[in-house]
Structure 1
Amino acid sequence: MNDLDVSAVILNYNSITDTINCLVSLSQQTLKAREIVVVDNKSTDSSINILWEWVKNNAVIINEEYGSIKHSNVDCKVSLFVFETIDIYFIKSPVNGGYAFGNNLGANYICKYGESKLILLANPDVLFSTDSIEKLRNEYISVQKKDKQVKIIGVQLVYLDDPEKIQAIGGSFNKLWGVCKHVGRQQNVSDLDFIKESVRVDYPIGACLLIESECFIELGGLNEAYFLYYEELDLITRAAKKKIKFKITNSTTIYHKEGGSIGSSSKSFDAVSSISDKYLLQSRLLFIKRYYPQYLFTNLMVHIFYILKRLWVRDFVKTWNAIRALKVLVKS
């Protein structure tokens, strides 16, 4: 594997405009990715048609039927085109297996057929500074000289529509109550150093994550038991058991159109879509059950509070989401 190479994965689901913008952003880097894998998680809109129309007008099609890859017993077709001298592999999944499934599909394709040592996982709703790949690669090289166990690099995210405000520098997790919080949310970028010194960061945000390909393989990728949410916290929890560490860097700025890839925003409770709400509740209980069963009782109390609160405001859709989420506790 080449220590200098980075390959990227972009996961698309009904967000092809964002995906194309992310792809263009990655193509304008001072250090270009060795290849970019775009995975479509069985979009239900016109994403595929829009993508190919864009490809025909802006890229060079090499082979629309380049090959296939089998992942989780699902056969997926692979197409190849070139954009700005970068090989772009487009993988079309016939099923929507969730966030972890789609990212694993793309990352495993890189691990199987590529030669890059580093994999960049990117949500479609992020945009990169022109030096992002170079700065992330250099950060990895720098930390490796000090600690070989640092194999995952997280980033500082700012709001795309308000880049002077931090969206997150990472996440904190309270296992007693099962609550995740984005560290630095809504704070000024100018206060970043103070925030990093005063607040604990338990995990990097999965919207943009750099990881060693060998580490990705060793950990078995993202946990596909989660359809959406908690994947990065689960990954870091498993990594810690193997003494693998992560680091958050602010050496480059990543712009995040928060919620753009799932149709929600966590700036306010009301803005969280019912779909996001459903999987957030399920994944929270599943994570606690897997890693902190001793705190299951207190988390159930919190969950019951969620149910009662939703009933009180007569939000019956989200009430039903909370009730159905309990099924993960009885599944093996």
Structure 2
Amino acid sequence: MPPKVYIILLNYKIWKDTIECLESLYKLDYPNYQVIVVDNPTKPANDSLVHIRQWAEGSLSVDFPQNALSYLSSPSIQKPISFQYFTQQDIEEKKAQGNGSSNLILIQAQENKGFAKGNNIALDYCMQQADFEYVWILNNDTVVEKDSLKALVEYYEVHKSTGLGILGGKVRYYQQPDTLQCAAGATYNKWLAHSRQIGNGQKDIGQFDNQDFKFDLVIGACTFVSRNFIEKVGFLGEDYFLYFEEQDWAERGKRKGFHLGYTHKAIIYHKEGSTVGGNQLAVNSINALSDFYYARSKVIFTKKFHKGLCLMTVYLSFIFILLNRVRRKQFNRIPMLLKILFNPKRMYEDS
């Protein structure tokens, strides 16, 4: 039997996106995997897991937009889908033993503590399962080509002896399926605490179908790692709430002797920003919450790993960030961003 893979989706509000992703995942041609959905709760509650359970049982039908990618999620897979349900407390108390036969694991988080914490609940569950070998962390607003998981496993199996840590794939925009969001991930400028996604906005004509390019992190929308990597490096860093979790994992992995990898044969399509708002193809669409946490996380990451002169230049870069908000007439964001400089641990709701 091929290595067992757990696929993690973190749901927040947009349960229809999660179901569309699940429909595509259950068309994968890889024979040995289970899907875990962790629900980060909302206030007020929107009953996301209720809807996902109803879909799995076959009592809820969900229609998706008809577009060039409809073949990835349609026709709908046969229901019911067997599932197990656990709470965060079950995971933490080591009471969540998978039966190995359920296709879907549903986990309810107690509260929304961000991207890393939500995924870490699922990673904790994975580490408690004897059959766990690999994990594929996907954004819930993605759909995948059916051979993508097989490509990831095959690449990792061939290269794991070289110290491969985090493996990425090719991420295209859902709304523009011939256009790259990125190949693997991004380069990172530590002096400005700024990442630049590889190939972002370019038509995909195969220009990144090899690994002869430099990248410093693998995008969190499509991240594939092994049990061995997690045992040596640990879970995702929970310092950030949103953004920079990828940089943190990559940096910690590098310091443990791991390197990054990329296979162009694993292709996913990402809606980007459907949960928190905004995307790189429309900069002015980035909402205040995303703006706040990106700026906050760059300060936290730099303090954690670089400090010194790097931290000074990152602070100076806020001058240009603030001038940009003036140019965009986003005057109400200036006090919010200034507060980060004095207290980067501040949360968005406190600003």
Q: Same fold (TM over 0.5)?
A: yes
Alignment-mate amino acid for residue 48 of structure 1: L
Question: By how many angstroms is 1:68 displaced?
Answer: 4.6
Question: By how many angstroms is 1:191 displaced?
Answer: 4.6
Q: What residue ranges of structure 1 are gaps of 5+ in the alignment?
A: none
Alignment-mate amino acid for residue 338 of structure 2: I
Equivalent residue of 2:264, what SS? strand
Q: Deviations over 1:241-272 (max 9, x none)?
A: 01111101101211111212322212232111
Alignment of 1:1-332 (within 5 A): 4-44=3-43, 45-57=46-58, 58-60=79-81, 64=85, 68-71=89-92, 86-144=102-160, 147=162, 149-169=163-183, 170-193=185-208, 197=212, 199-294=213-308, 295-311=310-326, 313-329=328-344
Check whether the contact 1:77–1:91 (CA below 8 A) recurs between aligned residues: no
Alignment-mate amino acid for residue 69 of structure 1: D
Q: What residue ranges of structure 2 are gaps of 5+ in the alignment?
A: 59-78, 347-351
Q: Deviations over 1:23-75 (max 9, x none)?
A: 1211111114432111001134342332232123132456656895344xxx8
Check whether the contact 1:34–1:116 (CA below 8 A) recurs between aligned residues: no
Equivalent residue of 1:228, what SS? coil
C-alpha distance in 2, partners of 1:12/1:269?
24
TM-score of the superposition, structure 1-length normalised? 0.88
Question: By how many angstroms is 1:81 displaced?
Answer: 10
Check whether the contact 1:118–1:213 (CA below 8 A) recurs between aligned residues: yes
Q: How large is the RMSD of aligned CA atoms in angstroms? A: 2.7
Equivalent residue of 2:28, what SS? coil
> Taking structure 1 as reference, are residues 20 and 33 closer, same or farther at Cα in structure 2, changes over 3 Å only?
farther
C-alpha distance in 1, partners of 2:83/2:6?
19
C-alpha distance in 2, partners of 1:62/1:200?
41
Check whether the contact 1:64–1:79 (CA below 8 A) recurs between aligned residues: no
Question: By how many angstroms is 1:154 displaced?
Answer: 0.8
C-alpha distance in 2, partners of 1:68/1:330?
26
Question: By how many angstroms is 1:214 displaced?
Answer: 2.5
Alignment-mate amino acid for residue 144 of structure 2: F
Alignment-mate amino acid for residue 261 of structure 2: K
C-alpha distance in 2, partners of 1:315/1:285?
21
Greater helix percent: which structure? Answer: 1
Greater strand percent: which structure? Answer: 1
Question: By how many angstroms is 1:139 displaced?
Answer: 0.8
> Taking structure 1 as reference, are residues 151 and 320 closer, same or farther at Cα in structure 2, changes over 3 Å only?
same
C-alpha distance in 2, partners of 1:154/1:205?
7
Aligned residues: 322
Alignment-mate amino acid for residue 50 of structure 1: H
Check whether the contact 2:86–2:106 (CA below 8 A) recurs between aligned residues: no
Check whether the contact 1:79–1:90 (CA below 8 A) recurs between aligned residues: no
Alignment-mate amino acid for residue 279 of structure 2: S
